[in-house]
Chain A
């Protein structure tokens, strides 16, 4: 990793680009220390993210041990091709994110913006594959409040009301119990789907947060906020995005490739 050279910044020069005029927080001794401290803080934050997902992985491990048949059957309902495609999309986006950081450090601003946009696009593509090809076909049965043919829903308000009715036990069915495919052989298969939905939805939420972070970096990059002498924000967004990718790297084989 390139070391940050604070001496090249010149806060006094009004004609210098924004990144060169960056002035570090008054409580830090130097810009380099601020950079190090911010990275340390963010690594700590990433460790909390890992521990957050650890709960899901722990539940996964325990119930897989208790109900191996349910896990095998549930996993067989997933299409590894969609999961695999999403893995490739995220790996590609991790590359473009790293390339964006490198471009920023070396002052190639057009390339940095291009890479940031590709990363965001990959995030969108990931979500699109997830929602259109994986969630929606499984949901069509029970997200009736979004589907006017399946329930007498005429407005958004009613749709939301329908959600709560559903939660209260609409028709005696609750989402956790609802994954009883007619062809399901195992009584514990709802648990599999609970872990699947909690894990992937929490991950998808992180993808969205990551895209917002990168979008913010992109908007700031238009104002030349980041450059070779100051790129903390880009680096931070990159670290976050790599973590999002890494979690998927674990989720993918555990969910799709176990049979």
Chain B
């Protein structure tokens, strides 16, 4: 063993029976198991519960996306007016027969997709699920700093999601996920579901703040002895930077949405121009949160990629400090770019400044991408699902990042804004970036979380399907966006027909890919081989404990004796992770000295 130096480890307090068992161990009857999970303060169980909730909502949001794509298969109403209208007539659109009702249904469906995917899936996806599970283990702690707060934030998340779903059951909201005023405050005045959805997002913000706060304190105060800031795995750096943004940006959306609810309920007029208010003020408030939150979405994805690439190419990460500081750099710059959502609503000077600051984001981002590629160079790359997803991420995220530049440029943005080009751009970043990293991370850590190996070949096939489906969905959107197809429209001219059809076929392929993934993962739980403690040969702390980890994570408090990516000093050349645990360190040192 190298990661845990047991000779120097302090003896653990006397074990209390089940603490040495796997955290997944049964507690007896079904009811006591459910009660145990519902009241648990174990960060691992909370992480798994988050993972489950996020995946359920990902499925709902994904179905909405499929319905949107289905609707756009033809320029006339094919779903909203007929199929779904007759199925859920009483729920979605009581009068769903005419084209107008179909359009209305379309607006509600893409709002549903956007709101669920942004607020309930991508924002909490990586930090709250994988972060919750692995942040304490990777720094050698027994739990997060405030375990009960952690459970509370899960319940708040679930309550917020229930409110959101409630607003949909009551008939849906058609404002888009950004709730721009005065449309969001002055339309549908007879219904309160707009206010319910806004309130749901407000509640979800609480959950986000509490998770972020918990992580910041955990990283500051609970690192294992011997783990300095620059001995932390890069996953921690990414999640830590994310947590800072969550703490500092979310309160602003809190007050914004509170004011929006007040505006909706009492017409206080702060955002309503007819009462002297300023609708662009709403956009400033909204994007002051929602642009930093774009980095809440992508930073944890980047954090995962740093792990995947280093572990699966078994190589020291290139430029550790550069990648770590790039995370903080992105977090810092993220607060200075919100104005690029309002290029047309501000003065020229402000637009110039925000344009320049937006370009600034490209620098730390490119630093990361180049460092990952340099890490791959001459590494012993294992082609498996996590590595495949890391490569998919590099490909898609680079496209997503580079297409951001013409949008940050004032002159080209005038042409491209509010077109499908923007839609394709942020899907390449959010989905091609965050979701791909998330799925890669799930496969990377699946053996650790559940103690079961998934079937590698079908998972890789699914990854390839997802990759092809994704590009087939969104490349046509770049093309038609650049030619002028506006976003949010339910209809289009015939020139765009072929692009929309290709895009819809792509989305079906994506669906098939993700369903195959789900099948492979569920299958592994039922019939997967038992996972060894360290299937990939990782050097971070989570790989030094059991799979799945025991209730207290480690049998002894770990003492960190080497860096997270010291493959060139800890691991002998041509080492196979099957030979885990690592050989005697003195011998390895001699081999390396001989080189």
Interface residues of A (CB under 8 A from B): 25-28, 33, 36-38, 40-41, 44-45, 47-56, 58-59, 62-63, 66-67, 70, 167-169, 174-177, 187-188, 190-191, 194-195, 197-198, 202
B190–chain A nearest beta-carbon distance, Å: 7
Interface residues of B (CB under 8 A from A): 13, 136, 141-147, 189-190, 209, 213-214, 216-217, 220-222, 247-248, 250-252, 254-256, 258-259, 262-263, 265-270, 275-278, 281, 285, 552
**Known A-B contacts A175-B266, A175-B267, A197-B268; A191 and B276 likewise in contact (beta carbons under 8 Å):** yes
**Contact indicator A37/B251 (Cβ below 8 Å):** no
Residues in B with CB closer than 8 Å to A48 are 209, 213, 247-248, 250-251, 254
**Contact indicator B276/A187 (Cβ below 8 Å):** yes
**Contact indicator A52/B254 (Cβ below 8 Å):** yes
Contact of A37 among B217, B259, B276 (CB under 8 A): B217
Bound CA–CA A38/B147 (angstroms): 12
**Known A-B contacts A27-B141, A191-B277; A176 and B267 likewise in contact (beta carbons under 8 Å):** yes
**Known A-B contacts A51-B251, A175-B267, A175-B268; A41 and B217 likewise in contact (beta carbons under 8 Å):** yes
**Known A-B contacts A27-B141, A41-B146, A44-B216; A174 and B266 likewise in contact (beta carbons under 8 Å):** yes
Bound CA–CA A56/B145 (angstroms): 31
Bound CA–CA A28/B222 (angstroms): 7
Bound CA–CA A67/B278 (angstroms): 12
**Contact indicator B221/A37 (Cβ below 8 Å):** yes
**Contact indicator A27/B222 (Cβ below 8 Å):** yes
A-B contacts, 5 of them at CB < 8 A, read: A27-B147, A51-B248, A51-B252, A55-B285, A56-B255
B224–chain A nearest beta-carbon distance, Å: 10
Beyond the given pairs A26-B142, A37-B220, 10 more chain A to chain B contacts, judged by CB atoms under 8 angstroms and listed by A's residue number, are A33-B221, A40-B221, A48-B251, A62-B278, A175-B267, A176-B269, A187-B276, A197-B268, A198-B259, A198-B268
Q: Is the contact region of chain B dominated by helix, strand, or loop, or is it mixed?
A: helix
Of chain A, the residue at the smallest CB distance from B216 is A44
Residues in B with CB closer than 8 Å to A41 are 145-146, 213-214, 216-217
Q: Is the contact region of chain A dominated by helix, strand, or loop, or is it mixed?
A: helix
Of chain B, the residue at the smallest CB distance from A52 is B251
Residues in B with CB closer than 8 Å to A195 are 270
Bound CA–CA A48/B244 (angstroms): 11
Residues in A with CB closer than 8 Å to B252 are 51-52, 54-55
**Contact indicator A198/B220 (Cβ below 8 Å):** no
Bound CA–CA A40/B212 (angstroms): 13
Contact of B266 among A40, A52, A167 (CB under 8 A): A167
Q: 9 tightest CB-CB pairs across the interface, nearest first?
A: A55-B255, A194-B268, A51-B251, A27-B142, A27-B143, A37-B221, A176-B268, A188-B276, A48-B251
A108–chain B nearest beta-carbon distance, Å: 30
Residues in B with CB closer than 8 Å to A49 are 251
Residues in B with CB closer than 8 Å to A51 are 248, 251-252, 255
Of chain A, the residue at the smallest CB distance from B144 is A27
Bound CA–CA A121/B546 (angstroms): 54
A51–chain B nearest beta-carbon distance, Å: 4
Of chain A, the residue at the smallest CB distance from B276 is A188
**Known A-B contacts A176-B268, A194-B269; A52 and B247 likewise in contact (beta carbons under 8 Å):** no
Of chain B, the residue at the smallest CB distance from A195 is B270
